[in-house]
Structure 1
Amino acid sequence: MSLRLSTVILPVRRWQQGGREQWVRAEELGFHTAYTYDHLSWRTFRDGPWFGAVPTLTAAAAATSRLRLGTLVTSPNFRHPVTLAKELISLDDISDGRITLGIGAGGTGFDATALGGEPWTPRERADRFAEFVPLLDRLLTEDAVTEHGAHYSADEARNIPGCVQRPRLPFAVAATGPRGMRLAARHGQAWVTTGDPKVFESGTPEESRAAIGGQIERLGEACAAVGRDSAELDRILLTGFTPDWAHRLESVDAFVDFAGRHRELGITEIAVHAPIPDTDFAADQKTFERIATEAPAQLG
Structure 2
Amino acid sequence: MSLRLSTVILPHRRWHEGGRATWTRAEQLGFHAAYTYDHLSWRTFRDGPWFGAIPTLTAAASVTERMRLGTLVTSPNFRHPVTLAKELISLDDVSGGRVTLGVGAGGTGFDATALGQEPWTPRERADRFAEFVPLLDRLLTQDAVSYEGNFYSAHEARNIPGCVQRPRLPFAVAATGPRGLRLAARYGQAWVTTGDPKLYETGTPEQSVQALRDQGERLADACAALGRDAAELDRVLLTGFTPDRTRPLESLDAFVDFAGRHRALGFTEIVVHWPIPGTDFAADEKVFERIALEAAQQLD
Fold equivalence (TM over 0.5): yes
CA distance in 2, matches of 1:298, 1:138: 41
- Opposite residue 22 of structure 1, the aligned amino acid is T
Matched, 1:132 2:132: yes
CA distance in 2, matches of 1:286, 1:145: 49
Report the counterpart of residue 6 of structure 1 in structure 2.
6
Gaps spanning 5+ residues in structure 2: where? none
Q: CA deviation at 1:295?
A: 0.1
- Opposite residue 212 of structure 1, the aligned amino acid is L
Deviations 1:121-167 (A, max 9, x none): 10000000000000000000000000100000100000000000000
CA distance in 2, matches of 1:248, 1:90: 36
CA distance in 2, matches of 1:118, 1:298: 49
- Opposite residue 52 of structure 1, the aligned amino acid is G
Report the counterpart of residue 31 of structure 1 in structure 2.
31
Matched, 1:78 2:84: no
Report the counterpart of residue 219 of structure 1 in structure 2.
219
- Opposite residue 192 of structure 1, the aligned amino acid is V
Q: CA deviation at 1:76?
A: 0.2
Matched, 1:233 2:230: no
- Opposite residue 77 of structure 1, the aligned amino acid is N
- Opposite residue 6 of structure 1, the aligned amino acid is S
CA distance in 1, matches of 2:8, 2:117: 29
Deviations 1:239-270 (A, max 9, x none): 00001233221110010000000000111100
DSSP 3-state at the match of 1:265: coil
134-143 vs 196-205, which moves further: 196-205
105-114 vs 135-144, which moves further: 105-114
CA distance in 1, matches of 2:270, 2:12: 22
What CA RMSD, in Å, does the superposition of the two structures yield over aligned residues? 0.5
DSSP 3-state at the match of 2:276: coil
CA distance in 1, matches of 2:254, 2:179: 35
Report the counterpart of residue 149 of structure 2 in structure 1.
149
Matched, 1:122 2:122: yes
- Opposite residue 170 of structure 1, the aligned amino acid is P
Report the counterpart of residue 15 of structure 1 in structure 2.
15
Matched, 1:87 2:87: yes
Q: CA deviation at 1:117?
A: 1.2
4-13 vs 194-203, which moves further: 194-203
Q: How many pairs are equivalent?
A: 300
Deviations 1:45-103 (A, max 9, x none): 00000000000000000010001000000000000000000000000000000000000
Deviations 1:20-68 (A, max 9, x none): 0000000000000000000000000000000000000000000100010
Gaps spanning 5+ residues in structure 1: where? none
Report the counterpart of residue 265 of structure 1 in structure 2.
265
CA distance in 1, matches of 2:275, 2:45: 14
CA distance in 1, matches of 2:288, 2:275: 8
DSSP 3-state at the match of 1:77: coil
Q: CA deviation at 1:196?
A: 0.1
- Opposite residue 42 of structure 1, the aligned amino acid is W
Report the counterpart of residue 97 of structure 1 in structure 2.
97
Report the counterpart of residue 161 of structure 1 in structure 2.
161
Q: CA deviation at 1:194?
A: 0.2
- Opposite residue 152 of structure 1, the aligned amino acid is Y
DSSP 3-state at the match of 2:105: coil
Report the counterpart of residue 274 of structure 2 in structure 1.
274
| Identity level (%) | 81
Q: What's the TM-score, normalizing by structure 2? A: 0.99
Report the counterpart of residue 199 of structure 1 in structure 2.
199
DSSP 3-state at the match of 2:283: coil
CA distance in 2, matches of 1:194, 1:247: 15
111-120 vs 208-217, which moves further: 111-120
